[in-house]
């Protein structure tokens, strides 16, 4: 009987240890997102990453400035806007960029969350990681992002399936060497910013509307559309928008667009294998297959 009791107790202890080990392993597997981001970088935007503004349908710009390329699927209306970049309207460059955006939008949607957020984020300081709102996010005040140059922040709004991003007098500031190009805002539905100073790239399922303020990053709209039925419009009014690649920032690990193209210029076109990329050879960014100055 004594031997039986000893064996039973030993078995129970071993079982308990196995359970603890299994739980510990599960925890390690459940929190890989931040470590994975640090090691591998955020999902690639492809050619979409070389556009300051990209819409599946229309882009409307009024009394604003855009530093970077503009891509529109159906229409571009410019009323008093200054654009330092190239506009691509209903051409292969705009279509290919939108296709890449759709792929990126789907990939971002599956990135696991590190923390669920609520509230306006006013006065909050966040280190690199993946932060999620189950539904809509209504933001105001000042959000501080504190981290190193290679730190990556991903915000996901509407992870339950629906949810819009609304920012009013919302300011995003960096504390440290963090880069706007390494901040991403995935939104299930529309994104609306008013009187805000914003950092990061918005990947919106629907439209993006920015009124006054500044926007340091890329505005990509229409992630829930398809190549057959594109969706998403971008409307800018009295806004200064600067593409993150042109604001002295660098995405990590780099945009890798086209064969042989590294992080050097992130042009929207395809590079020539074993040769410098289009931008280095004097080619036109955004024109797929364009061969540059060496005539190859």
Mean pLDDT across 152-172: 98
Least trusted range by pLDDT, from 12-21, 68-77, 126-135, 257-266 = 257-266
Mean pLDDT across 16-39: 45
Q: Is residue 158 part of a domain?
A: yes
What total of structural domains would you count in the chain?
1
pTM above 0.85, yes or no: no
54 vs 7 pLDDT, higher one: 54
pLDDT tens, residue by residue, 89-110: 999 999 999 999 999 999 999 9
Whether 216 contacts 239, CB under 8 Å: no
| DSSP code at position 255 | -
289 vs 86 pLDDT, higher one: 86
188 vs 13 pLDDT, higher one: 188
pLDDT of 265 reads 36
| DSSP code at position 287 | -
Q: Is residue 272 part of a domain?
A: no
pLDDT of 207 reads 98
Q: Is residue 5 part of a domain?
A: no
Does the pLDDT value for residue 21 go beyond 70?
no
Q: Is residue 99 part of a domain?
A: yes
| DSSP code at position 52 | S
Q: Is residue 255 part of a domain?
A: no
**Domain range for 115:** 47-246
Q: Is residue 256 part of a domain?
A: no
Q: Is residue 66 part of a domain?
A: yes
239 burial type by CB count under 10 A (0-12 exposed, 13-18 middle, 19+ buried):
buried
Q: How far apart are CA 296 and CA 140, in angstroms?
A: 52
């Amino acid at each position: 009987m004594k031997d039986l009791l000893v064996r039973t107790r030993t078995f129970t202890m071993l079982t308990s240890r196995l359970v603890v080990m299994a739980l510990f392993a599960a925890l390690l597997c459940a929190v890989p997102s931040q470590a994975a981001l640090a090691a591998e970088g955020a999902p690639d935007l492809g050619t979409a990453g070389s556009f300051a503004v990209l819409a599946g349908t229309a882009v409307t710009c009024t009394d604003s400035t855009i530093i970077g390329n503009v891509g529109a699927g159906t229409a571009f209306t410019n009323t008093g806007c200054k654009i330092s970049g190239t506009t691509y309207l209903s051409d292969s460059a705009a279509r290919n960029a939108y296709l890449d955006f759709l792929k990126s939008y789907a990939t971002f949607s599956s990135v696991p969350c590190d923390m669920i957020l609520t509230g306006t984020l006013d006065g909050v300081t966040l280190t690199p990681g993946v932060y999620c709102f189950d539904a809509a996010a209504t933001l105001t005040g000042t959000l501080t992002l504190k981290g190193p140059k290679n730190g990556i922040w991903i915000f996901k709004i509407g992870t339950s399936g629906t949810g819009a991003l609304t920012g009013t007098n919302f300011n995003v500031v960096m504390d440290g060497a963090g880069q706007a190009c390494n901040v991403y805002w995935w939104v299930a539905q529309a994104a609306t910013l008013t009187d805000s100073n914003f950092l990061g790239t918005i990947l919106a399922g629907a439209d993006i509307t920015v009124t006054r303020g500044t926007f340091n990053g890329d505005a990509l709209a229409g992630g829930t559309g398809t190549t057959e039925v594109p969706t998403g419009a971008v409307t800018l009014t009295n806004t200064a928008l600067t593409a993150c690649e042109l604001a002295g920032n660098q995405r990590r690990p780099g945009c890798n667009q086209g064969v042989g193209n590294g992080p050097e210029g992130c042009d929207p076109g395809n590079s020539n294998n074993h040769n410098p990329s289009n931008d280095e050879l004097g080619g036109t960014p955004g024109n797929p297959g364009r061969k540059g100055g060496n005539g190859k």
